[in-house]
């Protein structure tokens, strides 16, 4: 079994989690709760791929609690505008770029009429997919979800859509922590807690279905590049970029309850660090809640997914190639809270035995890009605070406090581009009972 998904207890996520949490003290950016968000009003039927029989180890009560997430996931599979993404995996031809050697998909779109016909065929294929995929909750799964080709089972008859060629079905595994939350905490959670959980579960499932769709189309796990210009051959990330406008992760990945979400744009490491570093934007609850509204999907039906603007807030975080974090905050109180963290950590550092590396970190972070006045060129400059990503080594010694040296200074705002995670090794190992394609929901710094 090929497994390359990110680990849920990645220590590198602790530093940005602490920084954003402190900057969002008292939930000033409405990342966790917002009393103004409306209740979901989607009333669409579930897509056949989400029929209860496909959730092999879910009780009726558990399946019922998943309805809001599955209803949102069904909207992604029912909207013509969203289904346009599936046209290329379904009908594109694999081409090889002579310069890079990358295998990518051709664009099969010839006319608007032809596009309508292809979308209709994609709809049929997705209904066929409902007999080619199963969903399972798996305990101790170290990633949010992963997709496998089940070589233990084989189709006895040809598919009733020519799009699919695989002789084996697929299995999508979802981490057991999601099941635990649904069973014990979902109903008693706040509206915003449920919305974040439902949004992440829905987008995770569709992400994995893009892999399952590709496996059924090709018969193997060797994914091509969707576009030649994509940072990596990863259909799930390609779909998220198309449908959502970026990659969405919680920084707190050790908890079953979904904490605040962060949006990262899809770029290669080389491009991201060459542009100043990987950057995440805090996602307010109002942006998440809109996806559960009929009015939002009416806009998408008319103008496509790009009608939904990316989330915007006054709170962002950037990680440089050297491993230094920078917080961008437009709220003076957020900066003061970070300064309080600095004072607390400095006090702890004076009384606790600290590793030599930690002292080196504390003495160097304040002189990074934060304090270069030659870069102050824009009209509106957010206050920033920088810290090193190796703070996790110190967090273990000082508890929840981050032992860092912080400094406050204005620096210019840069246009947000679309960063990304690293490559996925999708080797096709036919000798195994299962072949795995993971969802890499990882905050990699």
CB atoms closer than 10 angstroms to residue 132: 22
Predicted local confidence at residue 353, as pLDDT: 61
445 residues of the chain, pLDDT tens digit each: 333 343 334 445 667 787 889 889 999 999 999 999 999 999 999 999 999 999 999 999 999 999 999 999 999 999 999 999 999 999 999 999 999 999 999 999 776 779 999 999 999 999 999 999 999 999 988 889 999 998 888 887 778 899 999 999 999 999 999 999 999 999 999 999 999 999 999 999 999 999 999 999 999 999 999 999 999 999 999 999 999 999 999 988 888 899 999 999 999 989 989 888 888 999 999 999 999 999 999 999 999 999 999 998 889 888 888 777 788 888 888 877 877 776 776 666 666 665 332 332 232 222 222 333 333 232 333 343 443 333 333 333 333 333 333 333 332 222 222 233 333 333 333 334 455 555 444 333 3
Predicted local confidence at residue 5, as pLDDT: 41
Predicted local confidence at residue 48, as pLDDT: 97
Q: Which helix (H) or strand (E) holds 141?
A: none
Predicted local confidence at residue 155, as pLDDT: 86
Q: Which helix (H) or strand (E) holds 305?
A: none
Q: For residue 160, give every residue at least 6 positions away whose Cβ sits within 8 Å of its Cβ, in sequence order, or none.
A: 128
- Per-residue burial over 72-103, b if 16 or more Cβ lie within 10 Å, else e, is bbbbbbbbebbbbbbbbbbbbeeeeeeeeebe
Predicted local confidence at residue 313, as pLDDT: 80
What is the full DSSP assignment across 188-241? TS-HHHHHHHHHHHHHHHHHHHHHHHHHHHHSSS-PPBSSTTSSSS-HHHHHHH
**Domain residues of the chain, as ranges?**
36-245+424-438
Q: For residue 140, give every residue at least 6 positions away whose Cβ sits within 8 Å of its Cβ, in sequence order, or none.
A: 176
Predicted local confidence at residue 346, as pLDDT: 67
């Amino acid at each position: 079994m090929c497994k390359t998904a990110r680990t849920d207890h990645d220590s590198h996520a602790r530093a940005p989690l602490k920084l954003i949490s402190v900057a969002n003290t008292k939930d000033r950016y409405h990342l966790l709760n917002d009393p103004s968000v409306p209740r979901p009003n989607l009333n669409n039927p579930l897509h056949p791929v989400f029929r209860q029989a496909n959730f092999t180890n879910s009780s009726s009560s558990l399946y019922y609690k998943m309805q809001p997430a599955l209803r949102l996931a069904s909207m992604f599979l029912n909207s013509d505008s969203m289904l346009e993404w599936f046209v290329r995996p379904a009908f594109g031809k694999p081409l090889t770029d002579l310069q890079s050697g990358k295998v990518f998909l051709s664009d099969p779109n010839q006319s608007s009429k032809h596009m309508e016909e292809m979308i209709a065929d994609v709809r049929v294929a997705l209904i066929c997919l409902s007999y080619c995929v199963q969903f399972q909750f798996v305990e101790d799964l170290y990633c949010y979800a992963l997709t496998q080709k089940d070589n233990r089972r084989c189709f006895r008859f040809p598919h009733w859509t020519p799009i699919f060629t695989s002789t084996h079905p697929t299995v999508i595994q979802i981490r057991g922590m999601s099941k635990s939350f649904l069973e014990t905490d979902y109903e008693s959670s706040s509206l915003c807690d449920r919305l974040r959980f439902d949004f992440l579960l829905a987008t995770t499932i569709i992400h994995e279905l893009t892999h399952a769709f590709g496996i059924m189309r090709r018969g193997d796990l060797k994914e091509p590049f969707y576009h030649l210009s994509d940072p990596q051959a990863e259909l799930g990330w390609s779909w998220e970029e198309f449908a959502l406008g970026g990659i969405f992760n919680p920084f707190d990945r050790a908890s079953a309850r979904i904490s605040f979400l962060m949006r990262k744009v899809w770029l290669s490491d080389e491009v991201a660090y060459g542009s100043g570093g990987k950057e995440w934007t805090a996602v307010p609850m109002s942006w998440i809640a809109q996806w559960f509204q009929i009015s939002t999907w009416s806009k998408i039906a008319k103008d496509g997914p790009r009608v939904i603007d990316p989330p915007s807030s006054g709170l962002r975080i950037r990680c440089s190639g050297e491993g230094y974090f920078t917080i961008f905050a437009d709220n003076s109180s957020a900066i003061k809270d970070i300064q309080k963290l600095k004072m607390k950590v400095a006090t702890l550092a004076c009384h606790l035995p600290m590793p030599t590396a930690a002292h080196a970190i504390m003495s160097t972070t304040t002189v990074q890009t934060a304090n270069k006045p030659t870069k102050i060129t824009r009209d509106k400059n957010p206050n920033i605070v920088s810290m090193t990503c190796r703070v996790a080594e110190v967090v273990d010694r000082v508890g929840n406090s981050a032992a860092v040296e912080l400094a406050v200074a204005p620096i210019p705002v840069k246009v947000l581009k679309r960063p990304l995670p690293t490559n996925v090794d999708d080797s096709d190992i036919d000798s195994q009972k299962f072949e795995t394609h993971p969802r890499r929901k990882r905050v990699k710094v």
